[in-house]
Amino acid sequence: MSAQSGKTLGALIEEAASQPGGTGRTRLFRAGEVLFLAGEAGDGVYVIESGRVQILVPVGSGEPRLLATLGPGDSVGEMAVLDDVPRSATARAEVDTEARFISRDELLRLIENQPRLALNLIREFSKRLRALDIKYMDEVVQAERLAIVGRFASTIVHDFKNPLQVIGLAAELACSDHTTPPMRHKAQNKIARQVERMTNMLHELIEFTKPTGHRPLLTPVAFPRYMNPLVEEIRQEIGDRGVNLELGNTPPEVTVHIQPQRFSRLFYNLLNNAVDEMSGGGTIFLRFFASPTELRIDIEDTGRGIAPEIAQSLFKPFATHGKTHGTGLGLTICKKIVEDHGGQIWAAAGAPGKGATFSFTLPL
């Protein structure tokens, strides 16, 4: 719409065409009738006098998608006229519609004689492009959300299938009249481990859905008092899997502001990832580097290193390689936890087959 005249572009075109020498003619289109098809030559422009016109864009081999619905005073088809290229969309009457057709030659003559009309065309194109950009971005965001929901569903079904099967078999064994007490105890332990595994995966899904940039309620903590018990706890857990945890240096005497339970999850995720890469056993080195402004922590393992095919997408959702379980959200969650605490995280691969190092910072 022109800021100067307050009239729609279509009204301005029709007004200009109505002057002496104009050749525009009005046509009636029944509901569902096509004004023009995508791919046709841009032979003219239509100004809607009554009714409504749908603008449909072809998408692949599927059904055309509705781009916009225009009403009285709007113009249809002027872009193909000015570009002198085939029409990019189909215009179809949504209800019985009257539209005035102005030929390409007539429109060009009007523009030549009335420079203000050309200015309003530019303004109209700009407005439509902005509206199209907003609509496109909304659809992209919605499609991305639906894709993530689909991945969630697929992940849950796939990753819960094996634990549920184990639980079912173990429960059947535990409830059997012929099961000995040691076998029943073993079955109970299996069920407990699988329930814990499923609970951890659910926690990862919940953590992933938290708003990005959410700042947790931070508590000042003496870092050695927090870190030393956590190291012993993790060392005992991963030691049962044939992996040693060694400290390259003692935790520095600094105060950190963290959410202890959530920050511990960061260590568990990173260290368990390293353990998963060392099925035959190995060593994880934990090192600390304090500066006046931040604390950096390095976690280095002696595993297989970072697979080249996922090196560029390590911290993206569902990026996983060679794992038979898990949600593929572990490193994504690590990134969220670090960034929510005001730090940064990155990874560096060693020589092929020589492990990897994950580093993250925490502001002091």
For residue 2, name the pLDDT band (cuts at 50, 70, 90): very low
Residues 223 and 199 in one domain: no
- Domain total of the chain: 3
**Is 132 a member of any domain?**
no
Residues 329-342 have a mean pLDDT of: 85
Residues 204 and 224 in one domain: no
Q: What is the mean pLDDT of the chain?
A: 79
What pLDDT score does 94 carry?
95
Residues 30-35 have a mean pLDDT of: 94
**Is 82 a member of any domain?**
yes
Residues 170 and 286 in one domain: no
Residues 200 and 323 in one domain: no
Residues 103 and 166 in one domain: no
Residues 223 and 266 in one domain: yes
For residue 24, name the pLDDT band (cuts at 50, 70, 90): low
Range of the domain at 277: 219-363
**Is 333 a member of any domain?**
yes
Residues 240 and 328 in one domain: yes
Residues 25 and 75 in one domain: yes
Residue 270: CATH number of its domain: 3.30.565.10
Residues 173 and 291 in one domain: no
Residues 97 and 15 in one domain: yes
Least confident of 262-271, 290-299, 306-315: 306-315
Residue 77: CATH number of its domain: 2.60.120.10
Instruction: Give yes or no for residue 148 having a pLDDT over 80.
Output: no
Instruction: Give yes or no for residue 200 having a pLDDT over 60.
Output: yes
What pLDDT score does 192 carry?
82
HEC profile of the chain: CCCCCCCCHHHHHHHHHCCCCCCCEEEEECCCCEEECCCCCCCEEEEEEECCEEEEECCCCCCCEEEEEECCCCEECHHHHHHCCCCCCEEEECCCEEEEEEEHHHHHHHHHHCHHHHHHHHHHHHHHHHHHHHHHHHHHHHHHHHHHHHHHHHHHHHHHHHHHHHHHHHHHHHHCCCCCHHHHHHHHHHHHHHHHHHHHHHHHHHHHCCCCCCCCCCEEEEHHHHHHHHHHHHHHHHHCCCEEEEECCCCCCCEEEECHHHHHHHHHHHHHHHHHCCCCCEEEEEEEEECCCEEEEEEEECCCCCCHHHHHHCCCCCCCCCCCCCCCCHHHHHHHHHHHCCCCEEEEECCCCCCEEEEEEEEC
What pLDDT score does 131 carry?
67
Instruction: Give yes or no for residue 108 having a pLDDT over 90.
Output: no
Residues 247 and 316 in one domain: yes
For residue 207, name the pLDDT band (cuts at 50, 70, 90): low
